[in-house]
Structure 1
Amino acid sequence: MLTHFQFKTLKDNWISKKWKISFFHRGKYCAAIYTQDGTIDWQNEPVEDDVEQVEMQVHDLMLYHIYEDHNPTQM
């Protein structure tokens, strides 16, 4: 389980988008750069056995926070 998930936009243009992400997993601080194609460039990688599972959770969180519309326009 990821806790204290945070993201910050580093680059946002028509060509590419990048975010700095950070969180804690099993008490270990993890940080990475997340790109619009879903690539995760780890700076502080999670426990080796859990990397695949953590990456799936990161993708889900990024879809939720970045790509879903949480403020639909009301008519």
Structure 2
Amino acid sequence: MITHFQWKPLFKDKNLPGWRISFYFKQQSFQGIYHKNGEIEWTGAQPPSEDEASVKSMIHELMLFHVYE
């Protein structure tokens, strides 16, 4: 489960797509860039490979809820 999920635009012009994301998963902090095409570019540690698909799915759902309401 993802906790403490945060996002903010990459650019001051909020019309440009791209968001900085951060969250905790299994008590470890993760950060990345969420691109407009749904690709996630990790800027630090990556989630374990066995959990990465489910983490990406949870992030997509959160971004749909928060950004693309």
* TM-score, with length taken from structure 2: 0.88
Alignment of 1:1-75 (within 5 A): 1-11=1-11, 12-13=14-15, 16-43=16-43, 44-68=45-69
Q: What number of residue pairs does the alignment pair up?
A: 66
Give the deviation of 1:47 after TM superposition: 1.8
Deviation at 1:49, TM superposition (A): 1.1
Give deviations 1:2-48, integer Å, cap 9, x for gaps.
Answer: 000000111333xx411000000001111110011101001221122
Q: CA separation in 1, counterparts of 2:9 and 2:58?
A: 19
Structure 2, unaligned runs of 5 or more: none
Q: TM-score, normalised by structure 1?
A: 0.81
Give, as a single letter, the amino acid of the residue that structure 1 aligns with 2:40.
I
Paired AA for residue 29 in structure 2 = Y
Percent of pairs with identical residues? 41
Determine helix, strand or coil for the equivalent of 1:67: coil
Measured after TM superposition, the shift of residue 62 of structure 1 is: 0.1
- The CA RMSD over aligned residues, in Å, is 1.1
Q: Which has the higher strand share?
A: 1
